[in-house]
Amino acid sequence: MPLNIITFFIFYNLILFSVLGFGFFVSKIFFGNTLKKNLGFAGLFGLFFLLIYSYYSHLFIPHGYIHNVIILLIGLFLFIYFIKDFDFLSFKILLIIFLFLFLILLLFKTHDDFHYYHFPYSYYITQHSLLIGIGQFNHGFRTPSSIFYLNSLFYLPFAKYYLFYVPTLLIMGFSNQILILRFSEYFKNKKIDFIFFLSFCFFIFINIFFYRLQEHGTDRSAQILILILFLQLLTFLNFGKDAKSNLIQMIVILGLIISLKAFYILYLIVPLVIFWILYKEKKLYLLKDVIKNKIFYFFLSLIIVVIITNFLNTSCLIYPINFLCFENFDWSLGSNEINRMNQHYNLWSKAGHTPNYKVDNPEIYLQDFNWVYNWINNYFFNKVSDLILGLLFTSLLLILFFKQKKVKKISYNKNYNFLIIIIFLLLIEWFVNHPALRYGGYALFAILFFMPTSIILAKFRNNFDQIYKKISILFCIVVVVFLTRNYIRINEEYNNYNYSPLDKPIYKVDERHFRIEKIFSELIDNFEKCELSYDSCNFEKSLRVKKILKSRYIFVVNND
């Protein structure tokens, strides 16, 4: 079966339905219903479950074709079983969202890190069960992401590894569904407040600023989820009838965020603030109810397996934090290497190291904010400044579009101030330690600009019909801009790379993508030859591998 645009689209939809099937199943267990109207959250629940399964199963087995087909079929069976519970209007909206998003899955040129470690790590999971010490071969293998583990489950016959971008797209699609459902529910109930406008602002931001899938990597998916988490927090703090459900949904979102990148463990500050607010409001019973829910233990199990995977890759609980690393294991990286890479990440995020440039004295550069001047010249201008100008332009445009001479007072929950404090603390931490937009900056700046903008919009005395008309116009503009920009992108790839998505809708893969897998296979094959016949092996290469269990190896590069 050739992988043309039709078969590619079929695989795409089968994966979508399978993930939804798992989501319906999991939500049935945790909620007692299938979230039939909120299919976006059902999808995130499905990804959450598959992610936990993927991490734990990879400890023992590779995610090959047979394994993944079985998982896909189980999800499809669950989808068919629960189809009677669908809200078909919500399902139609979801299908339309993913029909539009399919356009961004059609790409030829991937992002710079994809061939370096995103693809190699995802492919490694499909070929081997967990190999201890792989962090010694590529520093990208020291920072695994849940995206890679989800990618591995979509390694399927015929489609092979060309669906490795689908999990990123699923996160974007389910998040769009959550946002659209949120402001459509507000319309239905004729309740227009600043959370309604904030939801719409985030919808604009995600689809205009993040329209290129190949730029997402692992970071933008996390930042999309951070925006959804922030909205859930705002809704939760109103302590409505769905407060418990909101808490459970936040646990799922937080688990996904933390698993996408190790440094997002900083967002565990959110549960601490929630605890304080519940204590202050004398509503700790909500927290007790959630702790008794199975989803809380699933969340803990995800955090545990992520830490275990980091440890078995690098001997660090969280890499590259030196005091959380251990040096007395065969696969340990050593404090010198960890410190070197810690400095590398710092330089990279603070404009001291680029593909074409590196400062002469890294230690001095990173001390006492010496890096700020260079960062402002080479990164703030024009990356951060462009984002700020884009957010400012969007905010002013919305204010002018909804502006009315008459204004009204709006209710403001004082607990929201705690969230504002969180945003400022995270923004300060971002600036001090990793001031690159990809490392959490996009979401923080979006919240910082759009929250006051939404409060201003809510104060204008637009009647319901005016708001509905204006939102409908803006919604159509966002969709047209999204489709136009992706059409232009595909046309550019067609002209530059002779990319023809109708005939071959896949991204470019070459030998660079398989270089790490080649090293692994050669080392393991050589070691097994040494076990059979001493004369037939390369002894120096065999020293780099230790077999500890059946189909389980430790890589020891420093012995070579």
Q: What are 123-159's pLDDT values in tens digits?
A: 999 999 999 999 988 888 998 999 999 999 999 999 9
In a domain, 282, yes or no: no
pLDDT at 397 over 60: yes
- Res 238: pLDDT: 84
In a domain, 390, yes or no: no
Band of the pLDDT at 31, cuts 50, 70, 90? low
Band of the pLDDT at 536, cuts 50, 70, 90? low
Dig out the tokens for 315 from the structure. Answer: 């001997």
- Res 386: pLDDT: 96
Least confident of 26-35, 279-288, 306-315, 533-542: 533-542
pLDDT at 392 over 70: yes
- Res 539: pLDDT: 64
The more confident residue out of 464 and 230 is 230
CB distance 164 to 65 below 8 Å: no
- Res 560: pLDDT: 41
In a domain, 518, yes or no: yes
Q: What is the pLDDT of residues 76-115, one digit of tens each?
A: 999 999 888 778 888 999 999 999 999 999 999 998 889 9
In a domain, 542, yes or no: yes
Separation CA 30–CA 82 (nearest Å): 15
What's the CA dihedral at 280, 284, 285, 291 to 10 degrees? 160
Least confident of 409-423, 486-500, 525-539: 525-539
Nearest to 438 by CA among 251, 318, 263: 263
Separation CA 316–CA 368 (nearest Å): 27
Domain around 545: 511-559
Q: What total number of domains does the chain contain? A: 1
Band of the pLDDT at 543, cuts 50, 70, 90? low
In a domain, 380, yes or no: no
pLDDT at 442 over 50: yes
User: Which amino acid makes up residue 442?
Assistant: Y
Q: Read off the pLDDT of each residue in 498-508 and give the average, rounded to a whole number.
A: 91
pLDDT at 559 over 60: no
In a domain, 522, yes or no: yes
Separation CA 246–CA 238 (nearest Å): 11
- Res 254: pLDDT: 95
In a domain, 22, yes or no: no
In a domain, 285, yes or no: no
Type and span of the H or E element at 555? strand 552-555
In this prediction the pTM is 0.94
